[in-house]
């Protein structure tokens, strides 16, 4: 079995660059929130968040993606000042202990992005693709940081009432939306080598609407930018798990996540965003070996 070659890129970050394509880059999720869908409330203190970040780095995370506001379905927005109070002390603590760590800030607030980058963050990961804060694109252009543009259909408060998508609608909608976001970012002065694209699994795509996006992920290579996927513990993977108790459900969801991540890597994703770094790393290594073999055949 052979797979299409995965494109290689050099991702320009704030102070350095990161090669993409040869080996899968893993972003470890660090949610500093009381209400995130999977691990809300787990890392509310600075010490617990720092310990988790160091643990993920030691497990093989290439980037720590820090979020201070939940964007789960139905989430209540918070003010940027509250978000900043959660994330800035943790950013400082991580960089004091691991000054070479690559950090990303998961935010759609331009003011939070600016303060985080000034504190040492290299990447701004905006789930809205610069749509929810009109100042975000120009802010990222001024910061000259790495940028992740995610496709989102509506806001979290909209998702439960949105009309259903036919299977054939999903990929064209995401491809067109990301193309528009990419053009707006370039027009705002963000350099093309700063930009990574994320199709936004679960963000306005409900349940099985995500399946065609995963199975046709390779089509997004047409956009000419690296692809990041966030599939970790997403609710649309749950039907793959048989009914069981809480611990069994967690294990089954992890297995489903690893399978989805492997499929995404083999379809061309250069980066994966995960909660379970220790388990994701060996699966990514095997998928990378398969792609390396395909490249040389």
Instruction: Provide the b/e sequence for 17-36 (b: ≥16 CB within 10 Å).
Output: ebebbeebbbbbbbbbbeeb
Q: How confident is the model at residue 239 (pLDDT cuts 50, 70, 90)?
A: low
Q: Give the range of the structural domain holding residue 212, as residue numbers without chain letter.
A: 9-296
Q: Name 10's bridge partners.
A: 19
4 falls within a domain: no
Structural domain includes residue 3: no
Which of 49-58, 148-157, 268-277 comes out lowest in average pLDDT? Answer: 148-157
Q: Which secondary-structure segment (H or E) carries 279? A: helix 277-296
Say which of 52, 155, 273, 281 is annotated catalytic: 273
Q: Which of 205, 234, 238, 289 is catalytic?
A: 234
Count the domains in the chain.
1
Q: Which of 182-196, 232-246, 269-283 has the lowest mean pLDDT?
A: 232-246
Tens-digit pLDDT profile for residues 2-51: 687 899 999 999 999 999 999 999 999 999 987 545 554 566 789 999 99
Task: With respect to residue 124, please indicate whether it lies within any of the assigned structural domains.
Answer: yes
Mean pLDDT, the chain, rounded, equals: 92
User: Does residue 61 fall inside a structural domain?
Assistant: yes
* Mean pLDDT in residue range 60-65: 98
Active site (annotated) includes residue 234: yes
d(CA 297, CA 293): 6
Residue 1 within a domain:
no
Q: Is 250 a catalytic residue?
A: no
Q: What angle do CA 90, 92, 93 make, to 5 degrees?
A: 65
| Greater pLDDT, 44 or 266 | 266
- Domain membership of residue 2 (yes or no) is no
Asked whether residue 33 is assigned to any structural domain, the reply reads yes
What pLDDT was estimated at residue 278? 98
CATH at residue 23: 3.20.20.20
pLDDT band, very low/low/confident/very high, at 293 (cuts 50, 70, 90): confident
What stretches of 24-162 show up as alpha helix (H) in DSSP?
46-59, 80-97, 110-118, 136-143
């Amino acid at each position: 079995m052979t797979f299409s070659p995965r494109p290689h890129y050099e991702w320009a970050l704030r102070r350095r660059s990161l090669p993409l394509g040869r080996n899968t880059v893993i972003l470890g999720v660090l949610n500093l929130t009381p209400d995130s869908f999977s691990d809300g409330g787990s890392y509310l203190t600075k010490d617990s968040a720092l310990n988790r970040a160091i643990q993920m780095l030691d497990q093989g995370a290439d980037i720590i993606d820090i979020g201070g506001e939940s964007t789960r379905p139905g989430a209540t927005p918070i003010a940027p000042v509250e978000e900043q109070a959660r994330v800035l002390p943790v950013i400082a603590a991580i960089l004091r202990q691991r000054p070479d760590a690559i950090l990303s800030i998961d935010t759609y607030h331009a003011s939070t992005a600016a303060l985080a980058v000034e504190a040492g963050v290299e990447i701004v990961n905006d789930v809205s693709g610069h749509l929810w804060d009109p100042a975000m694109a120009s802010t990222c252009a001024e910061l000259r940081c790495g940028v992740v543009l995610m496709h989102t259909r509506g806001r979290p408060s909209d998702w439960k009432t949105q009309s259903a998508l036919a299977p054939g609608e999903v990929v064209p909608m995401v491809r067109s939306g990301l193309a528009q976001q990419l053009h707006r970012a370039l027009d705002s002065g963000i350099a093309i080598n700063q930009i990574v694209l994320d199709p936004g699994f679960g963000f306005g795509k409900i349940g099985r609407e995500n399946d065609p996006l995963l199975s046709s992920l390779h089509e997004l290579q047409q956009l000419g930018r690296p692809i990041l996927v966030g599939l970790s513990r997403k609710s649309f993977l749950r039907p793959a798990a048989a009914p069981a108790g809480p611990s069994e459900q967690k294990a089954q969801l992890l297995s489903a996540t690893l399978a989805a991540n492997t499929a995404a890597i083999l379809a061309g994703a250069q980066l994966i965003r995960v909660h379970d770094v220790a388990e994701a790393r060996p699966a990514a290594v095997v998928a990378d070996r398969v792609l390396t073999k395909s490249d040389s055949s």
